[in-house]
Chains A and B, each alone.
Chain A
Amino acid sequence: MQRRLSTWLLLAPAGVWFAVMLVLPLCFVLVFSFGEREAAGGYVPAFTLEQYANLPTRGKAFLNTLILAPLGTLLSLLIAYPLAYFLAMRANPKWRTMLLILVIVPFWTSILIRSYAWIFILGGQGLPALIEWLGFGEVRLINTPFAVLTGIVYGYLPLMVLPVYVSLERLDKRLLEASADLGAPPLQGFLQVTLPLSLPGVATGCMLVFILLMGEFLIPAMLGGGKVFFIGNALVDLFLQSRNWAFGAAVAVTLVLIMLVTDTLYMWLMRRLGGAREDVSLM
Chain B
Amino acid sequence: MQSPSANTETAPRPLIAEFRAATRRYGDVLAADALSIGIGRGEFLSFLGPSGCGKTTALRMLAGFETPTSGEVYLDGERVTEVPAYRRPVNMVFQHYALFPHLSVADNISYGLRQRRPRPDRAEVAQKVDRALAMVRLSGFGPRRIWEMSGGQQQRVALARAIVNEPKLLLLDEPLAALDRKLRREMQIELQTLQRQLGITFVLVTHDQEEALSMSDRICIMRGGRIVQSGSPNALYDQPVSRYVADFVGKSNFIDGIVTAQSGKDGQVETALGQRFAGRLSGSLEQGTKASLSIRPEQIGLTHAPRGGAEPVSVINRIFLGEHTEYLVRHATLGDLLVLVARQAEASEGGFAPGDAGFISWAPETGLILGQD
Indicate whether B65 reaches chain A with its CB closer than 8 angstroms: yes
Interface string of B110-124 (1 = CB under 8 A from A): 011001100000000
Distance, CA A254 to CA B85, complexed state (A) = 55
Contact between B98 and A182 (Cβ–Cβ < 8 Å)?
Answer: no
- A201 → B minimal CB distance (Å): 13
Contact between B102 and A182 (Cβ–Cβ < 8 Å)?
Answer: no
Q: How many residues of A contact B (CB 8 A)?
A: 22
The stretch of A21-29, A107-115, A151-159, A169-177 in contact with B is A169-177
Distance, CA A70 to CA B198, complexed state (A) = 54
Indicate whether B161 reaches chain A with its CB closer than 8 angstroms: yes
Contact between B112 and A182 (Cβ–Cβ < 8 Å)?
Answer: yes
Which chain B residues lie closer than 8 Å to A127 at the CB level? Answer: none
The stretch of A88-96, A98-106, A183-191 in contact with B is A183-191
- A177 → B minimal CB distance (Å): 6
Which chain A residues lie closer than 8 Å to B64 at the CB level? Answer: 180-181
Indicate whether A277 reaches chain B with its CB closer than 8 angstroms: yes
Contact between B94 and A182 (Cβ–Cβ < 8 Å)?
Answer: no
Distance, CA A182 to CA B63, complexed state (A) = 10
Between A175, A178, A193, A276, the greatest number of chain B beta carbons within 10 A of the residue's beta carbon is seen for: A178
Distance, CA A189 to CA B91, complexed state (A) = 16
Which chain B residues lie closer than 8 Å to A182 at the CB level? Answer: 86, 91, 111-112, 115, 161, 165
- A174/B115 contact (C-beta < 8 A), A180-B86, A181-B63 known: no
Interface string of B62-79 (1 = CB under 8 A from A): 011100000000000000
Indicate whether A179 reaches chain B with its CB closer than 8 angstroms: yes
The main secondary structure of chain A at its interface with chain B is: helix
Contact between B115 and A183 (Cβ–Cβ < 8 Å)?
Answer: yes
Indicate whether B350 reaches chain A with its CB closer than 8 angstroms: no
Distance, CA A152 to CA B87, complexed state (A) = 44
- A184/B86 contact (C-beta < 8 A), A174-B94, A177-B94, A275-B145 known: yes
- B232 → A minimal CB distance (Å): 29
Indicate whether A197 reaches chain B with its CB closer than 8 angstroms: yes
Which chain B residues lie closer than 8 Å to A181 at the CB level? Answer: 63-65, 85-86, 90-92
Distance, CA A108 to CA B251, complexed state (A) = 64
Contact between A188 and B115 (Cβ–Cβ < 8 Å)?
Answer: yes
- B61 → A minimal CB distance (Å): 13
Distance, CA A182 to CA B112, complexed state (A) = 4
Contact between B115 and A178 (Cβ–Cβ < 8 Å)?
Answer: no
- A184/B111 contact (C-beta < 8 A), A175-B100, A178-B98 known: yes
Contact between A184 and B101 (Cβ–Cβ < 8 Å)?
Answer: no
Contact between B96 and A174 (Cβ–Cβ < 8 Å)?
Answer: yes
- B120 → A minimal CB distance (Å): 12
In the complex, 28 of the A-B residue pairs with CB atoms within 8 angstroms, ordered by the A residue number, are A174-B94, A177-B94, A178-B92, A178-B94, A180-B64, A180-B65, A180-B84, A180-B85, A181-B85, A181-B86, A181-B91, A181-B92, A182-B86, A182-B91, A182-B161, A183-B86, A183-B87, A183-B112, A183-B115, A183-B116, A184-B86, A184-B115, A186-B86, A189-B86, A193-B102, A196-B102, A276-B147, A277-B101
Given contact pairs A181-B65, A182-B91, enumerate 16 new A-B contacts (beta carbons under 8 Å).
A174-B94, A175-B100, A178-B92, A178-B94, A178-B100, A180-B64, A180-B86, A181-B63, A182-B112, A182-B161, A182-B165, A183-B87, A183-B112, A184-B86, A184-B111, A189-B86
10 shortest interchain CB distances as A-B pairs = A182-B112, A183-B115, A178-B98, A174-B98, A180-B85, A180-B86, A184-B115, A181-B92, A196-B102, A182-B111
